[in-house]
Amino acid sequence: MALAVTEAAEARPLRVMALDQCADQYVLALRPDADLALSPRADDPDAWMRTAAEGRRRIRPTLEAAIGFRPDVVVRYWGGDPRLLARLEADGVRVVTIADVSDFEGVRADIRTVARGLGVPRRGEALIARMDATLAAAAPPVPGAKPSALYLSAGGFTAGRGTLMDAILEAAGYSNAAARPFFNAVSVERIALSPPARFVLGFFDQPRGDWRGPGRHPVVRDAARGRVAARLPAAALTCPAWFAADAVMMLRAGA
Question: Is residue 20 in some structural domain?
Answer: yes
Q: How far is CA 154 from each of CA 38, 126, 143, 162, 182, rounded to the nearest angstrom? A: 28, 34, 31, 20, 17
* Whether residues 161 and 242 fall in one domain: yes
DSSP annotation string for 165-194: HHHHHHHTT-EE--SSSSEEE--HHHHHHS
Question: Is residue 113 in some structural domain?
Answer: no
Question: Is residue 235 in some structural domain?
Answer: yes
**DSSP 8-state assignment for residue 61:** S
- Asked which of 57, 72, 98 is the last residue of a domain, the reply is 98
What CATH number did the domain enclosing 87 receive? 3.40.50.1980
Q: What is the pLDDT along the chain (255 residues), one digit of tens a residue?
A: 554 455 444 568 999 999 999 999 999 999 999 999 999 999 999 999 999 999 999 999 999 999 999 999 999 999 999 999 999 999 999 999 999 999 999 999 999 999 999 999 999 999 999 999 999 999 988 776 789 999 999 888 999 999 999 999 999 999 999 989 999 988 888 888 888 889 999 998 876 666 667 777 888 888 888 889 999 999 999 999 999 999 999 998 876
* pTM value surpassing 0.75: yes
What value, to the nearest 5°, has the Cα angle with vertex 45 and ends 13 and 133? 70
Question: Is residue 162 in some structural domain?
Answer: yes
- Asked which of 66, 98, 130 is the last residue of a domain, the reply is 98
User: Would you mind telling me the total number of residues written for the chain in this entry?
Assistant: 255
Question: Is residue 141 in some structural domain?
Answer: no
Question: Is residue 135 in some structural domain?
Answer: no
| Residue 35 Rama label (left phi>0; alpha psi -120 to 50; beta) | beta
**159-181 burial: b if 16+ Cβ within 10 Å, else e:** bbeebbbbbbbbbbbbebbbeee
* Whether residues 88 and 160 fall in one domain: no
How many structural domains compose the chain? 2
Instruction: Tell me the residue range of the domain where 80 lies.
Output: 2-98
Question: Is residue 23 in some structural domain?
Answer: yes
